[in-house]
Amino acid sequence: MKYIEEARRVLRDEAFALNALADSLGEEFEKTIDCLLNIKGRIAVTGMGKSGHIARKIAATLSSTGSPAYFIHPAEASHGDLGMMTEHDAVIAISNSGNTAELNDIILYAALKGLPLIGITKNPDSFLGKHCDHLLLQPQLHEACPLDCAPTTSTTVQVALGDALAMCLLSARGFSREDFHMYHPGGALGHTLALVQDVMHTGDAVPLIHPDAPMMEVLAEMTHKGFGCVGVVEDGRLAGIVTDGDLRRHMCSNVMEMKAKDLMTPNPICVPVGTLGAKVMDIMERRKISCVFVLEKSGAIAGIVTRLDL
């Protein structure tokens, strides 16, 4: 346990810095958002050293949330990569001191081409602080490093400020969960944000029966399709559902003499085409069910989806 107190101190120092940053935001932040919303190009994000790592992360977050962005390395920019930037772009430059020499050529190029320059620094009197169009000041606080040397508090503040910019732009653009899914089709995020029609079973795989079907026919359809249920269809619409649980609950009665309509639960839980997989999963968990039918806007049956599919 000898390291716990030191770890807690680091985290509390950084949390204090984030609160100080939140309290310091004002009109300049609002102007920055308006500026970035109005550009026709992309957002170039730059920084050197640890600030460069943060700049890469901010560019990635912006790009994945509806604000196209790219990272430009300051040293490489001076050797030809300035050509990546167009007259329609804006620049976010990150430097704790504000006097990072490698950034100077990008700052001068932005001024020459009339590109909006947003500076993130703790030093308003620095080269970056004096020559940016919008200055987002970091709190004047020591690093969480016990030597006050290693970038810790400062980089935490920078990445959080980048997140704040990205989320404000996301909200202002009306960026939706569906948009997010489009940019994240792979991995766990993609599966969680998949639409129900992307994973549902359709056509002959869907277990369906008519209301007057005898119980032997219901059992055969339920067993053959393997979903543990059958949908009862009347006039092309889903009138009810019979589950294996319904059969077990009636096992001691004259269940084999019944018809589907005698045992079905009317108006079962359904979801419309276009529902997010995450929302369907939530419905299943709350209602303690393992599958749901999916309906077209017309009310026709489009398919069936299970918890396992999601």
Is 202 inside any structural domain?
A: yes
Q: Based on the domain organization, do 211 and 262 belong to the same domain?
A: yes
pLDDT over threshold 80, residue 70: yes
Q: Are 66 and 106 contacting, i.e. CB atoms less than 8 angstroms apart?
A: no
Q: Based on the domain organization, do 229 and 288 belong to the same domain?
A: yes
Residue 57 sits in a domain whose CATH number is 3.40.50.10490
- What pLDDT score was predicted for residue 277? 86
Is 214 inside any structural domain?
A: yes
Counting residues of the chain whose pLDDT is more than 70, the rounded percentage is 96
Closest CA to 76 of 89, 85, 86: 85
Residue 200 sits in a domain whose CATH number is 3.10.580.10
Domains of the chain: total: 2
- What pLDDT score was predicted for residue 250? 79
- What pLDDT score was predicted for residue 188? 63
Is 276 inside any structural domain?
A: yes
Is 190 inside any structural domain?
A: no
- Measured CA to CA in angstroms, residue 250 lies from 125, 219, 246, 255, 292 at distances of 81, 13, 6, 6, 22
**Which of 254 and 37 is assigned the larger pLDDT?**
37
Return the HEC string of 45-104: EEECCHHHHHHHHHHHHHHHCCCCEEECCHHHHCCCHHHHCCCCCEEEEECCCCCCHHHH
Q: Based on the domain organization, do 109 and 165 belong to the same domain?
A: yes
Angle made by CA atoms 292, 227, 230, in degrees to the nearest 5: 70
Q: Based on the domain organization, do 170 and 222 belong to the same domain?
A: no
Is 287 inside any structural domain?
A: yes
The rounded mean pLDDT for the chain is 92
pLDDT over threshold 90, residue 309: no
**Which of 221 and 194 is assigned the larger pLDDT?**
221
Token pair of 158 as six digits: 């920078």
Is 165 inside any structural domain?
A: yes
pLDDT tens for 136-172 read 999 999 999 999 999 999 999 999 999 999 999 999 9
User: Residue 265: what are its φ and ψ, rounded to 5°?
Assistant: -95, 115
Q: Are 222 and 230 contacting, i.e. CB atoms less than 8 angstroms apart?
A: yes
Average pLDDT over residues 267-281: 91
Average pLDDT over residues 276-290: 89
Q: Based on the domain organization, do 162 and 36 belong to the same domain?
A: yes
- What pLDDT score was predicted for residue 80? 94
pLDDT-based confidence at residue 187 (cuts at 50, 70, 90)? low
Q: Based on the domain organization, do 28 and 128 belong to the same domain?
A: yes
Is 185 inside any structural domain?
A: no
- What pLDDT score was predicted for residue 183? 76
Residue 306 to residue 292: CA distance in whole angstroms? 7
Q: Based on the domain organization, do 136 and 208 belong to the same domain?
A: no
Q: Based on the domain organization, do 133 and 218 belong to the same domain?
A: no
Domain enclosing residue 131, as ranges: 4-175
pLDDT over threshold 70, residue 191: no
Q: Are 260 and 211 contacting, i.e. CB atoms less than 8 angstroms apart?
A: yes
Q: Based on the domain organization, do 164 and 202 belong to the same domain?
A: no
Residue 210 to residue 168: CA distance in whole angstroms? 52
Q: Based on the domain organization, do 146 and 221 belong to the same domain?
A: no
Is 25 inside any structural domain?
A: yes
Indicate the residue among 175, 208, 225 that finishes a domain. Answer: 175
- For the whole prediction, is pTM greater than 0.85? no
Residue 118 to residue 33: CA distance in whole angstroms? 10
pLDDT-based confidence at residue 189 (cuts at 50, 70, 90)? low
- Measured CA to CA in angstroms, residue 66 lies from 58, 71, 120, 134, 276 at distances of 13, 16, 21, 21, 19
Q: Based on the domain organization, do 166 and 253 belong to the same domain?
A: no
